[in-house]
């Protein structure tokens, strides 16, 4: 599974092989000792992965439940009538599905898949950047995309990546994608980073967002507390999304007291927006 996907969570490994996470953790430790993989908090990745990027289909299936929970929470950071930029990625694609129900939005994106999700959304205006298509990620990159963003100013940018550390911030293995992501971030007052726990503590080749530039980090409950604390000290507001089957009503994040939102809470947030005068 690690070879096929590039990275995998311990929870997913335990589910597939039908054993406990304790057993999987022991086996992963043994494989790391043999140099066959590298351990990460809550998961494992192929060794020497700074320049390796899994395919889009591989990333779609990795930590899918966590990405959905993160998107459910992240949509609460978007208000009716906002203008935002949304980068390419499987997690931002999940976010786009939730954005479709918020009226009056203007969404600027370089992602064909984000645009496709929002194409038929009522009262949501979608602006594509232009540029050269990078087929492996269904994203527009290059000077055309960057120039389209150069004179833009919006409230928030929603971006993801392949790795996030408190030392280097958000990063990706691809130079062209990194350059466009930096332009997306430059266009926004605030930066919202969406990453699941399999990307926390992972460093890849090209920095896209410096840790100090992150305004909000939305991640899941298995993210390593040391990284979260370090990012919080650098100024990021930490939002922890809890998976629905683990949700505890009224539970709060240890980092900054945010509610742990799941599907039902996100729907309630949308209903609250609809009731605003």
pLDDT one-digit tens code per residue, 48-70: 554 455 555 555 657 789 999 99
Whether pTM > 0.75 for this model: the answer is no
Which span out of 28-37, 122-131, 255-264 was modeled with the highest average pLDDT? 122-131
pLDDT in tens, 243-256: 887 655 554 444 44
For residue 201, give the 3-state DSSP assignment.
coil
- Beta-carbon contacts of residue 108 (< 8 Å; ≥ 6 apart): 83, 84, 85, 86, 127, 129, 149, 152, 154, 187
Instruction: Measure the CA–CA gap between 42 and 40, rounded to whole angstroms.
Output: 6
CATH code: domain 2-48 is 1.10.10.10
Q: State the average pLDDT for the chain.
A: 82
Q: For residue range 167-215, what is the model confidence (pLDDT) as tens digits?
A: 999 999 999 999 999 999 999 999 999 999 989 998 899 999 999 999 9
**DSSP three-state, residue 254:** coil
Q: 13 vs 80, which has greater pLDDT?
A: 80
61-274: CATH topology is Rossmann fold (3.40.50)
Give the residue, 254 or 137, on which the prediction is more confident.
137
Query: Between 41 and 253, where is the model more confident?
Result: 41
Interatomic CA distance for residues 97 and 66, integer angstroms: 15
Q: How far is CA 100 from CA 138, 160, 187, 244, 253, in A?
A: 19, 19, 22, 21, 27
Q: Write down the H helix ranges in the chain.
A: 2-5, 10-17, 21-33, 56-61, 64-74, 90-99, 112-118, 143-150, 175-186, 225-233, 263-274
Amino acid 77: pLDDT: 98
Residue boundaries of the structural domains of the chain: 2-48, 61-274
SS3 state at 35: coil
Measured CA angle at 67 (ends 6, 202), to 5 deg: 40
Cβ neighbors of 27 (< 8 A, separation 6 or more) are none
Structure tokens of 15? 């589910």
- pLDDT reading at 28 higher than 90: no
């Amino acid at each position: 599974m690690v070879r096929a996907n590039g990275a995998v969570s311990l929870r997913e490994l335990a589910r597939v092989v039908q054993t406990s996470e304790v057993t999987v953790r022991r086996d992963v430790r043994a494989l790391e000792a043999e140099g066959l993989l590298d351990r990460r908090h809550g998961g494992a990745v192929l060794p020497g992965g700074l320049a390796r990027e899994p395919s889009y289909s591989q990333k779609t299936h990795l930590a899918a439940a966590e990405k959905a929970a993160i998107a459910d929470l992240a949509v609460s950071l978007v208000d009716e009538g906002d203008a935002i930029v949304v980068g390419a990625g499987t997690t931002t694609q999940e976010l786009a599905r939730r954005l479709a129900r918020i009226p009056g939005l203007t969404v600027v994106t370089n992602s064909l898949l984000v645009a496709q999700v929002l194409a038929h959304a009522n009262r949501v205006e979608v602006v594509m950047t232009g540029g050269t298509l990078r087929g492996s990620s269904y994203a527009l990159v290059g000077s055309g995309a960057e120039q389209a963003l150069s004179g833009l100013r919006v409230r928030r940018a929603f971006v993801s990546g392949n790795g996030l550390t408190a030392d280097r911030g958000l990063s990706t293995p691809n130079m062209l994608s990194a350059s466009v992501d930096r332009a997306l971030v430059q266009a926004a007052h605030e930066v919202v980073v969406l990453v699941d726990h399999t990307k926390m503590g992972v460093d890849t080749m090209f920095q896209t967002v410096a840790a100090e530039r992150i305004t909000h980090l939305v991640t899941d409950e298995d993210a390593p507390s040391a990284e979260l604390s370090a990012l919080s000290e650098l100024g990021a507001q930490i939002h922890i999304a809890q998976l629905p089957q683990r949700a505890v009503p009224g539970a709060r994040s240890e980092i900054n007291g945010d509610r742990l939102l799941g599907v039902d809470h996100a729907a309630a947030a949308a209903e609250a927006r609809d009731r605003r005068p």
